[in-house]
Amino acid sequence: MSLFSELQRRNVIRVAITYLVAAWVLIQVMEIATDAFGAPEWVLKVFIVALVLGFVPMLIFSWVYELTPEGLKRESEVPPDASVTAHTARRLNIVVIVLLLAVVALVAVERVRPPAAERASAPEIATTQDASSIDSIAVLPFEDFSPQRDQAHLAEGLADTLLHMLAQVQGLRVSARTSSFSFRGTDADIAEIGRELGVGAVLEGSVQRSGETLRIIAQLIRVADQSHLWSKTFDRPTGDIFAVQDEIANAVVAALQPADAPASQVALASNRTSVKAYEHFVRGDRLWQVRSREAIEQAIEEFRAAIAADPGYAPAHAGLAIAYLFSTYYGDKSMKEVRLAVEQATEQALALDPQLALAYAARGQLLANVEDLEGAEAAYRRAIELDPSDATTYAWLAGLLINDIKRWDESRSLLEKAYELDPRNLFVLGRYASNLSVFGDYNRAVEVYRRGVALDPEAPRAYANLAALHAQFGRHDDAIRAHLAQIERAPASPGPYLGIAGQFLRLDDQDAALEWFDKARALNPNSEYWSGFFLRREDHPRLVDEMEAMYARNPQRPQARAELCYARSIVGEYEQVVELCGPQVADVVGPNQEPLQLSALSDAMAVYWASVQLGNEATAGRLMDEMLRLAREGETSGFADASLHEFLAMLAAMRGDRTELYAQLGKAVELGYCDGRAMDNLPWFDAYRDEAEFRALLDDMRARQTQMRSSLRVEGF
């Protein structure tokens, strides 16, 4: 007898069918029961797992045993002429028919059953204690409980929109998106999340999609005792997701208000769109924040798809503007290539929604890149006004204000605010730690940077942050190692290759620097040399040629102009320096004697040196006074970076103050400065190269360079 025939004779197949149908019926009944009694979701999950685990033992049992009139017996103990398997088969057939009728009945009940949001069996949980003292909240990414687990983007988008809506509520601090969403997939409990983010309540939930139907469960939980302040289940068509967002946001605000307070309503999200456009936008919004070339390119495609699905959806246009901008930071685009597209996307977004914070943030970032600092500041401040929870915009504005020493305190306050809002955002974390380090709090900066790596060991940004810290304190070999870790995680982004090139220049290894620069240019043909590549005297002809070429490609870029003036001042083209960069400091040396701004400091140094060589003492004297004023203000403000002492040493060398030169160089070396190439080749150091004190400092730097190069070579670099 074949195995299949024996399985049929022993009713194993019928038992399997009966078990599966019965299990399905029980799951449906259990789901209705857990809904009605508000049972935790894990109850249904445990029940399903138990049914799955019982399937194989049941089949084995039906193979080994037979149900006889005398009770259960092992099949081997029942004589063939006494077997009743045929009678048992008929009884199993009847059971299956009854169960199938039950299936039909359950399907009918489910169709006519009212939505969970309208049933008393899905109650709204009232506040158990006064929650009016809670003034801060985190919105966690909603879980995706869809059968295929393919709706994570929709669940995340729902939570993100709720976060932005709640951020508009006066007096309610909302933890920023990146930090809140960083707990996705972790086993952190509500108490730990609350402590980490410094909030009094947490909103969490889940999304389950079946065809065109959504089940959304949301619950507001107090951090202090993890009690439920409010909870509700919504069964709606997918097109109603925006109405559900409004209802949840208003319910949360109501739960956090005192009982006798007048009812208030959250401003409804102004942007409504199709679910298709919304899903594309959510994917794009997540991708650009990854900050890698591949992710930025994918984000652009997602935003374009969202616009194709709904050309009137403003956030998609703003997102596209941001993604284009970031393609110049992490991809192969130049600002010249994308500027028009960014301007058009931003203007279209604001035409569709004049209150869209993301569009103002994009405008600010564009204007900052083209040196319209006043316009950029106004745009950033408007973005923050419209979305006070966006820590990234706080950090962008802080970076803008650093150009004015008188506003450094405000810049630091903005970074502290950004870090308070979003302590798990690696970009914000990096900016905050960098600010700590340049103002002398190195140990705290290291602690914050290491925390970034621990938060997401696979994030390229964490290693970019670490590389910047190492470079700042002259640990160029460690900076290279951090950049290599960054490349492992984002091999197509040119940034870390350029970073390694810069570190090898600091180590006076020009061949290695050029090799890594070539790798960056292979990924982004718009990658530009900077003057540090060609400081050696034998490279001076190429120095001017390369800087002229860069300026020709980027005539509106202040850094390109300053680099060309610097190059010409090194090789002795003084008239050309004054002609090109003199207009940038004309107000400083003119009759009105305007103060020098940090943004024009590089121009001022080149014009000063050229003016000295041309015998223009009045211009040179005025510029030196202003450069020293800025440097001293930096010292007074607590700036403690080696770059400040390097700058003061150069000014001392230019004006012939040996005492100040060696004092400032000594301080710079103590903080990690070891740029022997500059000391060996820049013309303002020519008068000191034969002095013993200068040679001793230079030998110390070269020894450190050699040590770091050797440690890298041991590792194969």
Domain co-membership, 141 together with 227: yes
| DSSP helix/strand/coil, 144 | strand
DSSP for residue 686? G
pLDDT of residue 103: 63
> pLDDT at residue 537 above 60?
yes
Average pLDDT over residues 343-370: 94
pLDDT of residue 53: 77
Any idea which of 137-151, 218-232, 640-654 has the lowest mean pLDDT? 137-151
End residue of a domain, out of 196, 226, 256: 256
* CB distance 664 to 652 below 8 Å: yes
* Better-scored residue on pLDDT, 486 or 262: 486
Domain co-membership, 85 together with 191: no
**Does residue 468 fall inside a structural domain?**
no
pLDDT of residue 80: 60
pLDDT of residue 104: 62
Q: Provide the angle, in degrees to the nearest 10, between the axes of the packed helices 495-506 and 510-523.
A: 170
Average pLDDT over residues 322-328: 93
Domain co-membership, 552 together with 649: no
CA distances from 627 to 213, 597, 598, 601 (A): 66, 9, 9, 7
Give the Cα separation of 214 and 202 in Å (integer). 22
**Does residue 54 fall inside a structural domain?**
yes
Give the Cα separation of 609 and 655 in Å (integer). 9
> pLDDT at residue 651 above 80?
yes
Quickly state the pLDDT bin for 65 (edges 50, 70, 90). Answer: low
Quickly state the pLDDT bin for 115 (edges 50, 70, 90). Answer: very low
pLDDT of residue 127: 41
pLDDT of residue 41: 62
CATH label of the domain that carries residue 320 = 1.25.40.10
**Does residue 461 fall inside a structural domain?**
no
> How many alpha carbons lie under 13 Å from residue 279 in its C-beta half-sphere?
12
DSSP for residue 284? H
Backbone angle region of 587, left / alpha / beta, with phi > 0 → left and psi within -120 to 50 → alpha: alpha
Q: How many helices (H) and strands (E) does the chain have?
A: 32, 8
**Does residue 710 fall inside a structural domain?**
yes
First to last CA, the chain: 71
* Better-scored residue on pLDDT, 105 or 159: 159
Domain co-membership, 214 together with 316: no
> pLDDT at residue 116 above 50?
no
* CB distance 383 to 167 below 8 Å: no
Q: What are phi and psi of 217, to 5 degrees?
A: -115, 130
Contact partners, residue 511, CB within 8 Å, separation at least 6:
none
Q: What are phi and psi of 375, to 5 degrees?
A: -65, -40
Question: pLDDT over 90 for what percent of the chain?
Answer: 47
Residues 381-427 have pLDDT tens digits of 999 999 888 899 999 999 999 888 889 999 999 999 999 888 888 89
Give the Cα separation of 517 and 497 in Å (integer). 6
Give the Cα separation of 303 and 570 in Å (integer). 47
End residue of a domain, out of 347, 375, 403: 375
Q: Which range scores top for mean pLDDT: 221-230, 339-348, 366-375, 629-638?
A: 339-348
* CB distance 645 to 630 below 8 Å: no
Mean pLDDT of the chain: 84
Give the Cα separation of 179 and 131 in Å (integer). 23
Three-state SS for 641-684 is CHHHHHHHHHHHHHHCCHHHHHHHHHHHHHCCCCCHHHHHHCHH
* CB distance 174 to 389 below 8 Å: yes
Three-state SS for 200-254 is CEEEEEEEEEECCEEEEEEEEEECCCCCEEEEEEEEEEHHHHHHHHHHHHHHHHH
> pLDDT at residue 709 above 70?
yes
pLDDT of residue 233: 86
**Does residue 298 fall inside a structural domain?**
yes
- Written as six digits, the tokens of 441 are 């709090």
* CB distance 672 to 472 below 8 Å: yes
- Written as six digits, the tokens of 68 are 């006889």
Domain co-membership, 688 together with 580: no
Domain co-membership, 613 together with 691: no
CATH label of the domain that carries residue 150 = 3.40.50.10070
Residues 434-486 have pLDDT tens digits of 999 888 888 899 899 888 888 888 888 889 989 998 998 899 999 999 999 99
Torsion angle, alpha carbons of 623, 627, 629, 634, to 10: 170
* Better-scored residue on pLDDT, 307 or 157: 307
Nearest to 405 by CA among 597, 576, 217: 597
**Does residue 499 fall inside a structural domain?**
no
Quickly state the pLDDT bin for 3 (edges 50, 70, 90). Answer: low
| DSSP helix/strand/coil, 136 | strand
Average pLDDT over residues 705-711: 95
Domain co-membership, 612 together with 683: no
pLDDT of residue 73: 57
Give the Cα separation of 606 and 598 in Å (integer). 14
DSSP 689-708: TTSHHHHHHHHHHHHHHHHH
| DSSP helix/strand/coil, 73 | strand
User: Checking DSSP bridges between strand 213-222 and strand 173-174, what pairing results, if any?
Assistant: unpaired
- Written as six digits, the tokens of 86 are 């045929």
Contact partners, residue 145, CB within 8 Å, separation at least 6:
41, 206, 207, 208, 215
CATH label of the domain that carries residue 615 = 1.25.40
pLDDT of residue 160: 79
pLDDT of residue 62: 66
Question: pLDDT over 70 for what percent of the chain?
Answer: 83
Q: Determine the Cα angle at 96 with ends 94 and 100, to 5°.
A: 120
For CA atoms 333, 339, 345, 350, the dihedral sign is positive
User: Checking DSSP bridges between strand 65-68 and strand 71-74, what pairing results, if any?
Assistant: antiparallel
**Does residue 514 fall inside a structural domain?**
no
> How many alpha carbons lie under 13 Å from residue 120 in its C-beta half-sphere?
0
pLDDT of residue 486: 95
* CB distance 292 to 303 below 8 Å: no
End residue of a domain, out of 375, 397, 426: 375
Q: Is 0.85 surpassed by the pTM of this model?
A: no
Nearest to 349 by CA among 324, 369, 375: 324
Residue 177 CB burial class (10 angstroms; 0-12, 13-18, ≥19): buried
> pLDDT at residue 717 above 70?
yes
Domain co-membership, 584 together with 674: no
Q: Which range scores top for mean pLDDT: 39-48, 87-96, 237-246, 687-696?
A: 687-696
Give the Cα separation of 710 and 190 in Å (integer). 49
Give the Cα separation of 452 and 444 in Å (integer). 13
pLDDT of residue 323: 95
> pLDDT at residue 600 above 70?
yes
Any idea which of 160-164, 537-541, 650-654, 666-670 has the lowest mean pLDDT? 160-164
Enclosing domain of residue 690:
640-717
Give the Cα separation of 454 and 447 in Å (integer). 11
Q: Provide the angle, in degrees to the nearest 10, between the axes of the packed helices 426-438 and 442-455.
A: 170
* CB distance 469 to 449 below 8 Å: yes
> pLDDT at residue 706 above 80?
yes
Domain co-membership, 242 together with 277: no
* CB distance 535 to 571 below 8 Å: no
pLDDT of residue 691: 96
Quickly state the pLDDT bin for 114 (edges 50, 70, 90). Answer: very low
Residues 174-221 have pLDDT tens digits of 888 778 888 887 878 898 999 888 899 999 988 888 777 888 888 999
How many CB atoms are closer than 10 A to CB 316? 31
Give the Cα separation of 355 and 349 in Å (integer). 10
Residues 117-148 have pLDDT tens digits of 333 333 444 444 556 678 889 999 888 887 77
**Does residue 666 fall inside a structural domain?**
yes
Express the helix, strand and coil content of the chain in percent, nearest 5 each: 70, 5, 25
CA distances from 116 to 110, 123, 215, 465 (A): 11, 9, 9, 48
Give the Cα separation of 145 and 208 in Å (integer). 5
pLDDT of residue 250: 81
> pLDDT at residue 51 above 80?
no
- Written as six digits, the tokens of 333 are 């685009």
Average pLDDT over residues 157-164: 80
Domain co-membership, 569 together with 673: no
pLDDT of residue 126: 40
Domain count, the chain: 5
Average pLDDT over residues 156-172: 80
